[in-house]
Structure 1
Amino acid sequence: MQAETIINSKMNGKMSSKITKIQNTASMGALLLDAGKISVRDAERIIALQKQNGMLFGDAAKELGLVTDDDIQKALSYQFDFPFLTGSEENISRELVAAYEPMSMQVEALRAVRGQLMLRWFDDIHKTLTLVSLSRGEGRSLMAANLAIVFSQLGERTLLIDADLRQPRQHTLFKLQSIYGLSDVLAGRADLTVITRIPAFRDLSILPAGTVPPNPVELISRGLKTCLQELQTQFDVILIDTPPAEQAIDAQIIASNCGGALLVVRQHKTRMNDLQLLKEALQDTGSQCLGVVLTDF
């Protein structure tokens, strides 16, 4: 690797991220009350104990056995405008650590990748990025999904597109029910209203792959560029999951329409010579290789 910036972030790495934006000024009590976790009578008991012992509202509520740690963490996520899911929620796959374990070392590494991309790629001109891997099983789809979540947690209007029209996975990770998606949009069978908002993350939307077509290369070649041009007026960050490069030429075509690609490789699996050839193939299409993310999950 010579000219590009290498983002070599193992998913068990550690990096501090302490920029927090407070949007919701509702009190802890009001949030717990609105969520149905406590009643008005409960709130009165909590306030009495809070005043008596000089405790925080949440600590007093836990002391009385009225709420759990998950309830408190959920309320804090609203107060600090930092959405995530608690262990009791199963809205999306547990494999998406950015949604369930925002303080883990894995997610700190994801934030490090996000920070590099914000500094070196995403701006008013560059809004789309392709994630490319050589073969299946290298963590590309998980990386795309987790990155989409951490971008949305930053307040960026984020769209994740599943452009793997051969063996799509994002609809499974996000537990989507829609049968329509990108392939249907490109074929003129549906419009962009098939994009699904993820309720738990207000700035995150998903465009699933949709119907598995008999002609994925032709669909992508003739319609993706126009589709992306329209989407760039609606979103700040567009991440695109692709089929493995060794399986088909789809990833190279998609990357050429985005201008930038992030390579995803797996520790002890991807060969350096193969990675170099993939990098050169992407550059031949006019796509800039922004770096490499090394995964071990």
Structure 2
Amino acid sequence: MSALPGNLGNVTAAPASGGDRIGDRFVQSGLLTPDQAARVVQLQDSDGLRFGEAAVKLGFITDKQVQAVLSKQFHYPVAAERSGISADLAIAHAPFSAEAEAIRQIRAELSIRLAGTGTISLAVVSPNEGEGKSYLAASLAIAFAQAGMRTLLINADMRDTGRDKLFTRTGDVGLSTLLAGRAAPTAGLPVENFPLLNVLDSGPPPPNPIEMLHDGALTKLLAALPGFDVVIVDTPSAGKSSDAQVIAQQIGFCLMLGRKDHTRLADLAATQDKMRTAGAQIVGTIYNEFKGGRARGGWFRRRRG
């Protein structure tokens, strides 16, 4: 599942209207004066830069401001300054970056492979912690929502509810609450600036998460939440418990993830065997080459599958 970095600002959507120049938008938004815009154009022509790159090089604006203006020009959702979405999620904060382009290429290949299946339902699975699984699940959910598809992201790790949140707005009702029958089925909370994205967090940690998932509990919950084009489920590490296996069996399709210099091939093979035993179809395996605690600044490519 190839996903190579692209170029900043290289988007395929059509402009909002014919003849709409990006420099005019910076002036209209008050980020540049007409004189500054003229100086940017001079540097743009002399150095062969894009307008935004030239403006940043001159120190007139920031990369974040460029992303915001580009997003408005192409009607593309982007995270607000204080949206509650982690800055690690480049697809939300820098949607025209190379990192975001890698995610979009994974989205494109998943869309092709899962075409004709109705709702795209996918469990994101990895053998161990720290392999970028939550980052990938959240990034894909945002990417599908940006593509105009109503998307639900579920954090199904009911064992590790204390981990860092990629979305700070989680609400009082989570997956464990719903599976326990203590609240009516709900699709969690909408995400600011992303009208087609909902996030359902894991909820309070139950003493028996695996038992709560048995008897098709997740399948039944999703049946009570119709209307989504895409459902992405972030799972607990497959090496930690059998939760991921049960979740993948009910979702039907899973995307495997391994991390360079972190994931042992034996662990990856064992996890693949678990998914196949559960009857889940593995649509691909992403080899994550990021460095550090998250996939920030890294990219993905196909390992096998």
TM-score by length of 1: 0.78
**What one-letter code is carried by the residue in structure 2 that aligns with 1:83?**
P
Match of 1:93 in 2: 86
1:1-297 aligned within 5 A: 7=1, 9=3, 13-15=4-6, 18-20=11-13, 68=61, 70-71=64-65, 73-85=67-79, 88-89=81-82, 91-168=84-161, 172-193=165-186, 195-222=188-215, 223-231=217-225, 233-297=226-290
- Give me the whole-angstrom Cα distance separating, in 2, the residues matched to 1:32 and 1:180: 44
| Higher helix proportion | 1
Return closer, same or farther for 1:224/1:184 CA change in 2, 3 Å cut-off.
Answer: same
Contact 2:145 2:151 in 1 (8 A): yes
Cα deviation code 1:148-204 (max 9, x no counterpart): 111111111111000001014788211114132111011111123361000121211
Distance 1:285 1:21, change over 3 A: farther
- How many angstroms does 1:230 deviate by? 2.8
| Alpha-carbon separation, structure 1, partners of 2:162 and 2:267 | 24
Give the partner amino acid of 2:167: F
SS in 2 for 1:95: coil
Unpaired runs of 5+ in structure 2?
A: 43-50, 291-305
Letter of the 1:238 counterpart: V
The CA RMSD measured in Å over matched residues stands at 3.5
Q: Which amino acid aligns with 2:5?
A: K
Identity of aligned residues (%): 32
Normalised by the size of structure 2, how large is the TM-score? 0.76
User: Does the Cα contact within 8 Å between 1:171 and 1:177 map onto a contact in 2?
Assistant: no
Instruction: Please tell me the residue identity of whatever aligns with 1:289.
Output: I
Q: Give, in whole Å, the separation in 2 of the partners of 1:32 and 1:123.
A: 45
1:142, distance to aligned residue in structure 2 (A) = 0.8
Question: Structure 1: which 5+ runs fail to align?
Answer: 1-6
Q: Give the CA deviation at 1:220.
A: 1.2
Residue type at the aligned position of 1:143: L
Counterpart AA for 2:75: D
In 1, the alpha carbon distance for the partners of 2:90 and 2:162 equals 16
1:158–1:18 CA distance, 2 compared to 1 (3 A): same
What letter corresponds to residue 79 of structure 2 in structure 1?
L
- Alpha-carbon distance in structure 2 between the residues aligned to 1:254 and 1:148: 17
Change in CA separation of 1:292 and 1:172 when aligned onto 2, cut-off 3 Å: same
